């Protein structure tokens, strides 16, 4: 009997843990929007992604990047036509959580352990 109460408490503690939903495959393809603040102003990017290519539309310009999936929830983005040295660097994207029509992600330069940013993308098609 003296072991029953700690066992009951432990089982309630474990069952109370929350697992974030990650249905990443639902977001491998489609049309998405991402909003962020740049220099104090809200900026919106629209991008179309299939399994291996992503086309970004920002400020009336388009840019194409290749995508290499590491697993269902992580991929590497690399611009196909970089205009400078900074654009030549690949970016590691990691989907942290998914919801019905959006996902929260973390991104940063490949190999960098610091300076990671977070954002949320909304699937519009």
Task: Give the pLDDT confidence score for residue 57 in this predicted structure.
Answer: 95
Specify whether domain 19-123 bears CATH 2.40.128. yes
Q: Helix or strand or coil: residue 81?
A: coil
What kind and span of H or E run contains 39?
none
Task: Give the pLDDT confidence score for residue 112 in this predicted structure.
Answer: 80
CB atoms within 10 A of CB 47: 19
Task: Give the pLDDT confidence score for residue 12 in this predicted structure.
Answer: 45
Task: Give the pLDDT confidence score for residue 94 in this predicted structure.
Answer: 95
Per residue of the chain (125 residues), what is the pLDDT tens digit? 555 454 445 454 444 455 567 889 999 999 999 988 888 888 899 999 998 999 999 989 999 999 999 999 999 999 999 999 988 999 999 999 999 999 999 999 998 878 888 999 999 98
Task: Give the pLDDT confidence score for residue 7 in this predicted structure.
Answer: 46
Task: Give the pLDDT confidence score for residue 19 in this predicted structure.
Answer: 57
Beta-bridge partner residues of 104: 97, 120
Burial class of 27 by CB neighbour count within 10 A (0 to 12, 13 to 18, 19+)? buried
Residue spans of the domains in the chain: they are: 19-123
């Amino acid at each position: 009997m003296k072991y029953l109460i700690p066992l009951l408490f432990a089982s309630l503690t474990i069952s109370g843990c929350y697992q974030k939903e990650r249905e990443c495959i639902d977001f491998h393809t489609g049309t998405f929007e991402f909003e962020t603040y740049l220099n104090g102003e809200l900026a919106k990017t629209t991008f179309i992604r299939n399994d291996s290519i992503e086309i970004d539309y920002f400020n009336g310009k388009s840019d194409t990047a290749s995508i290499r999936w590491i697993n269902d929830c992580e991929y590497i983005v690399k611009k196909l036509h970089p205009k400078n040295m900074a654009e030549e660097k690949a970016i590691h994207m990691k989907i942290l959580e998914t919801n019905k029509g959006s996902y929260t992600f973390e991104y940063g330069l490949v190999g960098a352990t610091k300076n990671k940013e977070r954002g949320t993308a909304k699937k519009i098609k």
